[in-house]
Structure 1
């Protein structure tokens, strides 16, 4: 009976991922099944390096939850790069599968505005699903570098524009038509890159007087359309197998602890400061896209 090492698991995942068929990928994940990972057949023998990885990932997950609780966005944007310092990037992303679903469902229903969100934001919810399908379908035929440069530039420009005195405001008559467009754009970009948030942030910031609580509730509702199908596809492609599902489920704990702490911070935050922090997240998202474009 062999010992269980996080570093061994990470190496196995990296080797499996490297053999994946690019066209069959969803957000950079492969069809390959990790059938050799059967958690209950192995005893747990943690090395010092393993404990460091666990501690580092726990801290990253906590702060990802903290941002999610405070702003309603930004968890993968912070957590995945931090965990990727000690894990293969693919494993870092897959570990977020269960936490992002739980966190968004939690916030959407806790806000007690789910009926209002469904009634108001069903257009982007619907077109996110459609856009994601087409984004995944054309994944292999798109020049990633050009996509990230164009979208990154748009996101950065929108962040500066929304932070200026010349803010773009959607009238009630334009809110639903714009929702169809922004939802489709979010799904398309998310299907290609796994970055669903920027277009949704731009859309919600363009709605006057939405307020921080409605923003978080609405964003969490819309994110459900992004993350639930994504998690299901990970299972269907065999990426979220038994072991990864276990580790991802365990990852829920630090994320939720951080989320609850972040919600307390949000209650003490003014709407103006909240919006400035959201714009900061938007800027970081845009620069992340540019970094991915030029880093190869």
Structure 2
């Protein structure tokens, strides 16, 4: 299914052209994302994406962040068994994410670079705003499936454009009463299915190949290193205050992305 030759692909030609400082900058973005996730639990892409777009086009940055998300969520998706039962329960957002990623990637690979940058910045603003405001929904039983499909579709669009599907998915799962381990398992399953769809669509429509996936998998290493480095400090920092500071910084970086795009 995937070609593992070095030639072609989306990531290797860009990374090959970078000097050492640029590669260090990319690695530091991933480490920083891992450190923030280690303290607050928010996703690596939300922090890493605004930094990565200084080095990579949005399309390549989204692809680079795909495997860290998959590898980080597979253990949680499999934890506790009952995989098929859980999949049936969250079938509506799952279907929405599959369709949303196909649509989102198809849109992303057709956008001009400045438009993609602006759209990614706007998506990050929405994501950070949702997490700061922490909106809560309460869904009546007849609305669970249609709202699940709609929010799954929207989350996949956010994933395709800026690698941040979490806020909409979290809103939906909390609204359906998912808590604790059930919440973690359900969101992990949706994220894995979402990213697999995203990578598959990239491979067919944007010339991504198997070597791109290996590079993306390698990007998990600095992200995990960041989480391990920050672990000794985790209990000394107030996670909610730190989370708020980080999200405000993400908002500022996302606004800068839109300004940089020149659409205004």
Please, what TM-score do these two structures have when normalized by structure 2?
0.65
SS at 2:47 equivalent: helix
CA distance 1:88–1:289, shift in 2 (3 Å):
closer
Matched, 1:228 2:196: yes
How far the C-alpha of 1:91 sits from its partner, in A, is: 4.0
Gaps of 5+ in 1: 1-32, 38-44
CA distance in 1, matches of 2:132, 2:85: 30
Residue equivalent to 2:51: 82
Greater RCO (Cα-Cα under 8 Å, separation 6 or more): 2
CA distance in 1, matches of 2:61, 2:154: 25
Gaps of 5+ in 2: 10-15
CA distance in 2, matches of 1:115, 1:263: 34
Residue equivalent to 2:61: 92
Residues 1-296 of structure 1 mapped to structure 2, 5 A cutoff: 35=7, 49-50=19-20, 52-68=21-37, 73-87=42-56, 89-110=58-79, 114-115=83-84, 117-137=86-106, 158-159=130-131, 162=134, 167-172=136-141, 174-191=143-160, 194-208=163-177, 210-211=179-180, 213-237=181-205, 239-241=207-209, 243-258=211-226, 292-293=257-258, 295=261, 296=263
Contact 1:144 1:293 (C-alpha < 8 Å) held by counterparts: no
Aligned residues: 245
Deviates more, 1:91-100 or 1:257-266: 257-266
CA distance 1:108–1:188, shift in 2 (3 Å):
same
4+ runs of 1 displaced by more than 6 Å?
Answer: 143-154, 260-266, 276-289
Structure with the greater alpha carbon radius of gyration:
1
Contact 1:113 1:217 (C-alpha < 8 Å) held by counterparts: no
CA distance in 2, matches of 1:262, 1:285: 19
CA distance 1:81–1:284, shift in 2 (3 Å):
same
Please, what TM-score do these two structures have when normalized by structure 1?
0.59
* Cα RMSD after superposing both structures: 4.6
